[in-house]
Every structure is written in C-alpha cells, then in structure tokens.
Amino acid sequence: MSLCYYDNSEITDKPVNLIDRVYCLDFHQFNKETWNKLGEIYSILPSQVIINNIGQAAWFGEEGKSDNYLWASVEPSGLQVAGKLLTSDWKDWEGKFNELIIDFPFFEC
C-alpha cells in the first residue's frame, strides 16, 4: 500500500520549509492498539518535544518559542503535520515517519 497524503503548502529544496501536510489516516478504523502504536511512533521520531515528562505530538521545538518546530494534530481529514523546519530535518523525519505508518489504515486516494 502506498501512503496517501496531500500538501497544503509546497515543500521545496530551499534550506528551510514551511510544512503543512495531511496524511489521510482513517481514524475511524483505529483501535486502541493502533492509537498506542501511533504514540510509540511519535516517541521514536527525531527530536520529540517532552513537556513535564510527557511526550508531545511535536518535534524539534515549540511553535512561537523555536525557530524550527513540527507538530501533529488529529483532524477529520487525517493527521495534519505542520511547522517550519530545515529541509534536511524534514526529509529525515518524513522518511522515518513514512516507513513507520505504512500499515496504518488510510482513506482511499
């Protein structure tokens, strides 16, 4: 199965990119195990943000506090991943994330 996603902003080869991607995960098909697996994936991705000893759906820094940041949010259309990152950090994060979610349920593209 291939990943289904769309970008709300163009990702370029410039040194820094504004990221706004929606992975079309079908959350209606998630069960407790799938949700737990997503949380595990968050924790093994590069540079997860930890606040009060709790891992966040955020990496590299916090929006409004850091020059580079990335966050994820569960939305009706799927998992929105947005932020501002060095292109090299984005490519590393994206590659690992894509490998780890390949077996999750997606909407049809």
% of the chain surpassing 90 pLDDT: 90
pLDDT band at 1 (very low <50, low <70, confident <90, very high): low
Q: Is the pLDDT of residue 36 over 60?
A: yes
Q: Is the pLDDT of residue 43 over 70?
A: yes
pTM confidence score = 0.93
* Whole-number Cα distances in Å, 101 to 3, 63, 109: 8, 24, 16
- Check residue 3 and give its pLDDT: 87
DSSP string, 70-98: EEEEEETTEEEEEEEEEHHHHHHHHHHHH
The residues spanned by each domain of the chain are 5-100
